[in-house]
């Protein structure tokens, strides 16, 4: 007995185990909760390295393999129409192509990430980016198999299209009557042509005004030159 209680701390199956006398249970409750929260945080923050992505890849591979095996079994056990067989071949072909090419490429990247001697060694962000890209193909193939699963549940009969709900359209806006018997509202194209024609007319007016101004300047210069030719001889005769 003493002022400090006896405390034993040891690791067991990945957990921290505390052993202390029963009478000190309240004093150590805060310690237990703190250690528990620390352990939960440590387990939730999972390192997304090559090993982690390999588990995801294996799960997707097993899932698609199971789908393909089920479709092959359905083909053997059922007399299916050609359109459904075509859907099966398309889904299985896409899945097998993805697994044999992109999945294998991603598997190699994960193994290089786990190999410290690999150069260049892909980092976790590289693996995450590649996996996000794979998700698009995985989702597309999943939709194909989902349709086949629905057809199987419907005894391989065509799926009924969803009922179209009648949409209530707003009442049409009444058009204003024309002002005159031969009045037609101008179309956008007509307005555009009128605007272009107006611009051309204004350009012609500016061009004609510029020509008139140039003609006036030329006439003025000609008259000035004529006056020089007239008066120069007189000056020479006086000299």
pLDDT (tens digit, 0 to 9) for every residue of the chain, 239 residues total?
444 445 555 555 444 555 555 555 545 544 444 554 444 444 444 678 999 999 999 999 999 999 999 999 999 999 999 999 999 999 999 999 999 999 999 999 999 999 999 889 999 999 999 999 999 999 999 999 999 999 999 999 988 765 555 556 666 666 665 565 555 555 555 565 666 677 777 767 776 766 676 565 555 544 444 444 434 444 444 44
Distance CA 220, CA 211 (A): 14
Q: What is the mean pLDDT of the chain?
A: 74
Query: Using CA atoms, how far apart are residues 110 and 54, in angstroms rounded to an integer?
Result: 7
- Does this model's pTM top 0.95? My answer is no
Domain boundaries, the chain: 8-44, 50-153, 199-239
At 142 the three-state DSSP class reads: helix
């Amino acid at each position: 007995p003493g002022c400090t209680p006896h405390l034993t701390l040891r690791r067991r199956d990945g957990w921290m185990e505390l052993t202390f006398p029963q009478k000190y249970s309240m004093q150590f409750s805060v310690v237990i909760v703190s250690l528990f929260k620390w352990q939960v945080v440590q387990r939730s923050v999972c390192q997304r390295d090559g090993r982690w992505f390999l588990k995801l890849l294996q799960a997707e591979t097993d899932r698609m393999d199971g789908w393909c095996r089920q479709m092959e079994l359905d083909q053997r056990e059922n007399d299916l129409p050609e359109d459904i067989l075509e859907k099966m071949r398309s889904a299985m072909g896409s899945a097998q192509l993805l697994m044999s090419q992109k999945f294998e490429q991603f598997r190699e990247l994960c193994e290089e990430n786990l190999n410290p001697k690999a150069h260049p060694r892909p980092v976790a962000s590289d693996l995450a980016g590649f996996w996000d890209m794979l998700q698009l193909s995985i989702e597309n193939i999943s939709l194909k198999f989902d349709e086949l699963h629905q057809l199987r549940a419907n005894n391989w009969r065509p799926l009924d299209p969803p009922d179209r709900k009648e949409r209530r359209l707003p009442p049409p806006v009444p058009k204003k009557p024309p002002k005159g018997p031969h009045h037609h509202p101008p179309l956008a194209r007509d307005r555009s042509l009128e605007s272009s024609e107006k611009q051309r007319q204004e350009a012609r007016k500016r061009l004609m005004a510029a020509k008139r101004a140039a003609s006036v300047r030329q006439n003025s210069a000609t008259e000035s030159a004529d006056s020089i030719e007239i008066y120069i001889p007189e000056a020479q005769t006086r000299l």
